[in-house]
């Protein structure tokens, strides 16, 4: 398994406010796909600054408190999912679907035994 992207991701119900903050810090919007999680429609805005740093900001309706996680894109989702599961990572109790799969990617939030989380993603090559 190869990690292809690794950066912070903020989950929030106040995405526009946080996006404005990061724009003030010099980040620019790259793209903003919307995904049906089975519970909500979540739009994740990908941002990049002039130094090449990335941050993703996901607008999650009804989220009680912001949460910062780590987005980890990999070249083999199933291998990474199995590795994390063996290390004690689990899907959150609030998840209504196991893995989210679209035409473009496969993803799942995975929470470690100590509480930090990955948004595990594999993008399909076209």
How many CB atoms are closer than 10 A to CB 123? 16
Could you report how far apart the first and last alpha carbons of the chain are, in Å? 19
Give the pLDDT confidence of 78-125 residue by residue, as tens digits: 999 999 999 999 988 655 557 888 888 899 999 999 999 999 999 887
Asked if residue 109 lies in contact with residue 119, where contact means CB atoms within 8 angstroms, the answer is yes
More confidently predicted of 98 and 8? 8
Cα(45)–Cα(32) distance, rounded to whole angstroms? 4
The per-residue pLDDT for 110 is 94
Tell me: pLDDT of 27 over 80.
Answer: yes
Tell me: pLDDT of 45 over 70.
Answer: yes
Cα(21)–Cα(65) distance, rounded to whole angstroms? 17
């Amino acid at each position: 398994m190869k990690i292809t992207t690794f950066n912070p991701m903020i989950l929030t119900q106040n995405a526009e406010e946080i996006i404005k903050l990061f724009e003030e810090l010099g980040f620019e919007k790259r793209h903003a796909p919307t995904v049906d999680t089975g519970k909500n429609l979540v739009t994740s805005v990908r941002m990049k600054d002039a130094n090449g740093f990335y941050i993703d900001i996901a607008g999650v309706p009804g989220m009680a408190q912001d949460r910062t996680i780590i987005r980890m894109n990999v070249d083999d989702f199933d291998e990474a999912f199995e590795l994390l599961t063996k290390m004690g990572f689990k899907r959150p109790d609030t998840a209504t679907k196991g893995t989210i799969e679209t035409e473009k990617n496969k993803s799942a939030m995975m929470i470690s035994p100590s509480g930090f989380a990955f948004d595990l993603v594999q993008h399909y090559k076209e």
